[in-house]
Amino acid sequence: MTKVLLVCMANICRSPMAKVTCEAATEALLPRPTGLRAWLARKPLRFDSAGSHAALGRATVDLRARKALASRGFASAVQRARRISANDFSQSDLILAMDAAVLSDLKKQCPPEHQHKLHRFLDFTPALMGQDVPDPYFGDAQGFAHVLALCETGAQHLVTALINGDVPGVRVTA
């Protein structure tokens, strides 16, 4: 199983939205096998999210993020915020930051042997490579809709790259 960790600052907007869109893209691009046992046994991609500076109070996903997801037909993000841990660096196959500041924070925390796992979320989307997913927290609903659109596009490209073996050092296995 390939484990992908999506990281934003507080883990209440961008990374939970990216997680939901990545899970949906995986469902669309890797349909479930038939039968419950087959479905339970086959989870080639697993997504999680965390924050580089998530509050210790374990906040829930921002209501505006949940509304944006619901408006596009996605399941709601129901997780509680958590801060990235030392174990995340060794247990994840790929760690994707939502912006340059988060990537910089991750590089400072990440042990040298796991630095190769760090990238920006949009680095697998050719037209958006090297760009940030902006933080919508201090904005309005339009900002959340824009972030969701970026997450949808990024998720499609990321999952496709993972399935096709186009992510260096990461191999998706059933």
Residue in 13, 14, 22, 123 annotated catalytic: 14
Asked if 32 is an active-site residue, the reply is: no
Contacts of 113 (CB under 8 A, 6+ apart): none
Residue in 99, 105, 135, 151 annotated catalytic: 135
Asked if 135 is an active-site residue, the reply is: yes
Q: Is the CB of residue 89 less than 8 Å from the CB of residue 116?
A: no
Residue in 8, 22, 110, 151 annotated catalytic: 8
Structure tokens at 76: 């709601």
Asked if 8 is an active-site residue, the reply is: yes
If we measure between CA atoms, which residue out of 42, 47, 49, 48 comes closest to residue 7?
49
User: What is the distance in angstroms between the CA of the first residue and the CA of the last residue of the chain?
Assistant: 6
Q: Is the CB of residue 70 less than 8 Å from the CB of residue 10?
A: no
Strand 45-51 relative to strand 94-97, pairing: unpaired
Residues taking part in catalysis: 8, 14, 135
